[in-house]
């Protein structure tokens, strides 16, 4: 299986659509969370019927479609009503997302456009998280001019979302959109050709990546790489693991030598993680390979990242 899942996110007005469009032009399989959220409550769907039963016919327009402002006025008055809304829509969105994932080609680079990826704690469930960033004032200007949004509304929406620090902490790629649309599209095209294509091929071929220095050095927050790696492994292995800990931070050059890779300089670091497996578990090697950590040739319990921009070594032991 060669499918890799990329989580694409960023604050409102940051420019995700430009990145998504660039990826689609190069063959990405797009799953748009906002589009799915609209689809599952279209007229005639069980989702819309459930919302009417829960919140009343006042949430419908004259043509029978969902009146979103009317729903918001009822669903966001308190936590109980918000939870009622989520209990209806989230399972429907999840089920439709799974359907689309199952329909993806075996060699797909699946791009999941999820505005609230950080807020939903979804980052560990992706092979790679790409964050599109623009500062708040730039986003306010875009929202008020291009979208016609009132300034107070734009600022309130920005304030209600994750902070830049929270986004950096979970991001594997940080795409700055302070320049032109063309600049962002070019950066996305480079990311696709230099990293994503190689990542997918490595996962499909079950081989560790040759880390590329300029990609590794561009990590948005290298200090969080170990934590991201641990969280990713928990998402991959679930209850097959009883403990996952970062055991060392060796120089990338040293690890490269261990794995038979040629790389310099030696001032870049690659996290090493120890995974304690539950007794008698099966299928761990396939899970890790599908998740982006194929077994190292000649080793029984050593795995390495298939992502050329995110070095890392995983060692497994049976607890």
- What pLDDT sits at residue 210? 87
- What pLDDT sits at residue 261? 52
With 0-12 / 13-18 / 19 or more C-beta atoms within 10 angstroms meaning exposed / middle / buried, residue 149 is middle
- Those residues of the chain that have pLDDT short of 70 are 1-2, 248-269
Q: At what angle do helices 16-25 and 181-191 cross, to 10 degrees?
A: 50
Q: Helix or strand or coil: residue 225?
A: helix
Q: Annotated binding residues for ATP, as ranges?
A: 13-18
Please enumerate in sequence order all residues whose Cβ is within 8 A of that of 42, keeping only pairs 6 or more positions apart, or say none: 48, 65, 66
Q: Where are the domains of the chain?
A: 4-203, 213-318
Does an H or E element contain 257, and which? helix 252-258
The CATH classification number of 4-203 equals 3.40.50.300
**CA nearest to 89, candidates 132, 129, 121, 120:** 120
Q: State the Cα–Cα distance between residues 199 and 309, nearest whole angstrom.
A: 9
- What pLDDT sits at residue 160? 82
Q: Annotated binding residues, as ranges?
A: 13-18
pTM over 0.85: yes
Map tokens 């950096």 to a residue: 168
Phi, psi values for residue 275, rounded to 5°: -115, 120
Q: Helix or strand or coil: residue 31?
A: strand
- What pLDDT sits at residue 267? 46
What is the DSSP code (8-state) at residue 120?
Answer: T
- What pLDDT sits at residue 182? 96
CATH level 3 topology of 213-318: Beta Polymerase; domain 2 (3.30.460)
């Amino acid at each position: 299986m060669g499918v890799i899942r990329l989580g694409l996110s960023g604050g409102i007005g940051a420019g995700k659509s430009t990145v998504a469009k660039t990826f689609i032009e190069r063959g990405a399989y797009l799953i748009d969370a906002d589009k799915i959220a609209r689809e599952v409550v279209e007229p005639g769907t069980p989702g819309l019927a459930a919302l009417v039963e829960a919140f009343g016919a006042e949430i419908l327009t004259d043509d029978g479609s969902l009146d979103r402002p009317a729903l918001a006025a009822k669903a966001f008055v308190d936590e109980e009503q918000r939870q009622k809304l989520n209990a209806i829509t989230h399972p429907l969105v999840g089920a439709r997302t799974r359907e689309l994932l199952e329909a993806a080609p075996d060699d797909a680079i699946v791009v999941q456009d999820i505005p609230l990826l950080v807020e939903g704690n979804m980052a560990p469930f992706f092979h790679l998280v790409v964050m599109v960033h623009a500062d708040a004032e730039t986003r306010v200007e875009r929202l008020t001019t291009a979208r016609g949004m009132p300034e107070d509304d734009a600022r309130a929406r920005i304030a209600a979302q994750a902070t830049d620090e929270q986004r950096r902490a979970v991001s594997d790629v940080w795409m700055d959109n302070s320049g032109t649309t063309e600049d962002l599209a070019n950066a996305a095209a480079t990311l696709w050709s230099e990293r994503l294509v190689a990542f997918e091929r490595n996962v499909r071929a079950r081989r560790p990546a040759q880390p590329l220095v300029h990609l590794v050095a561009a990590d948005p927050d290298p200090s969080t790489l170990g934590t991201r790696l641990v969280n990713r492994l928990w998402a991959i292995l679930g209850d097959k693991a009883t403990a996952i800990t970062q055991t060392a931070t060796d120089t990338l050059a040293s690890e490269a030598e261990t794995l038979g890779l040629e790389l310099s300089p030696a001032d870049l670091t690659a996290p090493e993680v120890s995974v304690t497996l539950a007794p008698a578990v099966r299928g761990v090697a396939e899970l890790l390979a599908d998740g982006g950590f194929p077994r190292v040739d000649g080793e029984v319990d050593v795995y390495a990242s298939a992502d050329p921009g995110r070095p890392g070594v995983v060692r497994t032991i049976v607890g």
